Amino acid sequence: MLGTNDCKMRFGASAKNIASGMEALVRMAISTPVWTATPKVLLISPPPMTPKCFDETSGEEPGSICSEKSCQLAPLYEKAAERLGCAFFDAGVKVQVSGIDGMHMDEIAHFTMATAVMSRIRQLFQPEKEKR
């Protein structure tokens, strides 16, 4: 689950640039010549940030379009996962960022996210005969 920090204005990346970078990373991981078979990859889009990530309490200058870009990542990551032939999980469906800074998950969200990802990974590694 990468891409949240890439949304910061100082990096100058669009949501499409961020998704393209994620796709390139997954391609590199899949094509590394250490696998005996194609690895199973779960591409996770981060939960969208809120406009709160731009206020003075965040401690950094993520930028006014940070939350807007983060909201665009899930559909772009999903399309990348389809092109790559890997699984996709939209974290924003299960969790939200904290209301404190608008960009990080709190303890409960981390637990919820871990539980949801664990379930998705179990599905990916379930033997084919059990999936029916």
- The string of DSSP codes covering 33-92 is TT-SSPPP-EEEEPPPP-GGGGSGGGSS---TTHHHHHHHHHHHHHHHHHHHT-EEEEHH
Predicted TM-score (pTM) of the model is 0.86
Share the mean pLDDT of the chain. 88
- Tell me the domain boundaries of the chain: 5-131
pLDDT in tens, 60-100: 566 668 888 999 999 999 999 999 999 999 999 999 998 88
Amino acid type, 20: S
Q: What pLDDT shows up at residue 57?
A: 53
Q: What pLDDT shows up at residue 59?
A: 54
Confidence of residue 52 (pLDDT cuts 50, 70, 90): confident
Q: What pLDDT shows up at residue 56?
A: 55
Task: Report the DSSP beta bridge partners of residue 87.
Answer: 42
Chain centre to alpha carbon of residue 69 = 13
- Side-chain half-sphere CA neighbours of 4 within 13 A: 17
* CATH, domain 5-131, list 3.90.1300.10, 3.40.50.10470, 3.40.50.1820, 3.40.50.1110: 3.40.50.1110
Contact 40, 82 (CB under 8 A): no
Confidence of residue 9 (pLDDT cuts 50, 70, 90): confident
Confidence of residue 2 (pLDDT cuts 50, 70, 90): confident
